[in-house]
Amino acid sequence: MENGEIPENANEHCPGPQSDSAGKSDACEGCPNQEACATAPKGPDPDLVAIAERMATVKHKILVLSGKGGVGKSTFSAQLSFALAAKDFQVGLLDIDICGPSIPKMLGLEGQDIHQSNLGWSPVYVESNLGVMSIGFMLPDPDEAVIWRGPRKNGLIKQFLKDVYWGELDFLVVDAPPGTSDEHISIVQFLQATGIDGAIIVTTPQQVSLIDVRKEVSFCKKVGVPVLGVVENMSGLCQPLKDFRFLKATENGKHTDLTEKVIEYLREKAPEMLDLVAATEVFDSSGGGAAKMCTEMGVPFLGKVPLDPQLCKAAEEGKSCFAEMKCLTSAAALKNIVEKLMTNYWLEEMHVEQ
């Protein structure tokens, strides 16, 4: 328990040896460290001082959260980082999804290693102004499961914050795991004294996702983290008509591919149709989607991003959706959201950029 560290054999919801309730709370029952924690001297965590010193060179800190997994939170974190870096800002992307680190894949950094210098751990760089840190760089086998209890996860998050040398950053984007678990409490506690700009919450349109997003908004309000806005991701499938496949269903449940015939017919009879973008709802949004929820909960709605196969492909390849003209629908939507964030919260940075 040196420097107030939570021991690895602690119970899952350990309050920490420096907490006033250490060794006394219900979470401490049966813990092998209970007596030691209850009698240990209490005081400020010296690691928080080290974190504050590291974060002193970071202007803006953004948490990216989601109520559920699988809503595209990490995709949004990656593309937000690409977008900010494209504006010539110095950007860091910190992946604290300890059990499901997908950021190395989405930034095209699989197989990279972390290096140490006399200044601390060095981020892995996509470009000179976009650095990344993730547990994914530390795993010898990418297929290996990370089976850690809360205290060990929290210890690594603390180590990322106090030991990684980012240098001067305009933005630090923190990609958190879904839900409101130990990792979320830890990142807020560790960063709160250094100033958190706020959280961006990512959801999909249907109620089964929005139910959990409401809990995420409630969490932010309880811990004092401003909600910068909510993004409705996968808001309808949207892609050029010519990129669709056209199938004819048969009685036995099989399909006959008529794509070539349909495209050829359109090319001959109605060529202008091939320039259209087709859209359809994938998730039920009859309940009003994220926009209605934002109105009810009094938080900003940042916009909708369609489900775009080209964006999915960019994420798989670790590329920016803004670099090429392939992500026609999603890139425009993401750009509008980034511009809204800049205008609403970081207008002074836009003036510096200009």
Which letter, b or e, does each residue of 29-58 get, where b requires 16 or more Cβ atoms within 10 Å of its Cβ? Answer: eebebbeebeeeeeeebebbebbbebbeeb
Give the span between the Cα atoms of 153 and 157, in whole angstroms.
6
Q: Give the pLDDT of residue 30.
A: 86
Angle of helix 182-191 relative to helix 207-223, nearest 10 degrees, comes to: 40
Q: Is 37 annotated as a binding residue?
A: yes
Predicted structure pTM score: 0.86
Structural domains of the chain, with CATH: 21-46 (no CATH), 56-235+283-350 (3.40.50.300), 238-280 (no CATH)
Query: pLDDT higher for 219 or 353?
Result: 219
**What are 130-141's pLDDT values in tens digits?**
999 999 999 888
Task: State residue 9's pLDDT score.
Answer: 78
pLDDT at 25: 82
Residue 21 marked in a binding site = no
287 is in an annotated binding site: no
**Mind listing the pLDDT tens digit for each residue in 191-228?**
998 999 999 999 999 999 999 999 999 999 999 999 99
Is there a binding annotation on residue 14? yes
Residue 3 has pLDDT above 60, yes or no: no
At 147, the pLDDT band (50, 70, 90 cuts) reads: confident
Give Dmax over CA atoms of the chain in angstroms.
84
Least confident range from 67-71, 261-265, 345-349: namely: 345-349
* b/e per residue 106-137 (b: at least 16 CB within 10 A): bbbbeebeeeeeeeebbbbebeebbbbbbbbb
Tell me: pLDDT of 75 over 60: yes
Residue range 316-337: mean pLDDT, rounded: 92
Q: Which residue has the higher pLDDT, 183 or 4?
A: 183
In this structure, are residues 211 and 129 in contact, taking their beta carbons and an 8 Å threshold? no
- Is 99 annotated in some ligand binding site? no
Mean pLDDT along residues 306-325: 93
Q: Residue 19: is its pLDDT beyond 50?
A: yes
Half-sphere exposure at residue 140, Cβ-oriented, CA atoms within 13 angstroms: 0
The pLDDT value recorded for residue 311 is 95
Number of H helices, E strands in the chain: 12, 13
Mean pLDDT of 302-327: 94
Q: Is 73 annotated as a binding residue?
A: yes
Q: pLDDT value at position 4?
A: 56
Closest CA to 105 of 308, 313, 311, 315: 315
Mean predicted lDDT score pLDDT of the chain: 91
Cβ of 145: how many Cβ atoms within 10 Å? 9
User: Band of the pLDDT at 280, cuts 50, 70, 90?
Assistant: very high
d(CA 93, CA 77): 8
Q: What is the pLDDT of residue 2?
A: 47
Confidence class for position 38, pLDDT limits 50, 70, 90 = confident
The answer on pLDDT for 91 being more than 60 is yes
pLDDT band at 7 (very low <50, low <70, confident <90, very high): confident
End-to-end C-alpha distance for the chain, whole angstroms: 49
State the Cα–Cα distance between residues 19 and 23, nearest whole angstrom: 9
254 is in an annotated binding site: no
